[in-house]
Chains A and B, each alone.
Chain A
Amino acid sequence: MTSQVVVSSVERREVDPELELILSLCVRPVSVAEVASRSGFALGVLRVLLADLLDQGLVVVHTSDWERQRPDARTLRSVLERIREL
């Protein structure tokens, strides 16, 4: 859900309007959840549509390293500091 998607730099083809809408939302790296919210598609539906775009090579998916391993102390400290500033 926090995996980020971004439009790949391959040449654009004509796609369905739903897919076009999704592509327009991923011009910058953006989380899957955010695309779901902004497009109005349910998360499950969006994942299927994103998988189609991925198959066509039109988007690139990035998964944060932190999904697989614990963040280091420096990262944790900067998160804490920033949250205290809010």
Chain B
Amino acid sequence: MEGSVAQGGPVPDTLKIVVAGGFGAGKTTLVSALSEVESLHTEEVMTSESVGVDDLDGVEGKTTTTVALDFGRITLDGSTVVYLFGTPGQRRFSFMWEELAQGALGAVVLADTRRLADSFDAIDFFESRGCRSWWR
């Protein structure tokens, strides 16, 4: 807000990278690994409520799932900060992707090769918004 005086020194520019992918692909793990601060997230322990709703084939050891969003921070220099936002994996949270994608620099879609099809929702989402994809 121009004209207002803020405390705490100059405000750095923020950039945003979205991390998407299927349920259990490792989005939370990636964000935690890259973030310079302890990655911040809201995780809810999966309960029997999710049995039959969330597909655990191949990731039976998974006991938690992200029901909000994860994020981490990478400071490039004093004036630029990159925020990594991990999207919730389940399709029923896809309404949150739109807001997360707003103004984002780009997106990383993680795919579990045992369950490739799980990543298609996320890939479709970004491709339908005109993103070019690179496969690694």
Interface residues of A (CB under 8 A from B): 1-2, 4, 6-9, 27-29, 31, 33-34, 37-38, 42-43, 57, 60-62, 64-68, 71, 75-76, 78-79, 82-83, 86
Contact = CB atoms under 8 A, between A and B. Distances in A.
B130 interface: no
Contacts of A7: 6-8
Interface residues of B, number: 33
A79 to B, nearest CB: 6
Contact of A66 (B34, B73, B74, B105): B105
Interface string B88-108: 000000000001101101000
Given A1-B85, A4-B11, A43-B68, A78 B76 contact: yes
Interface of B: 1, 4-9, 11-16, 34, 40-42, 68-69, 71, 73-74, 76-77, 80, 82-83, 85, 99-100, 102-103, 105
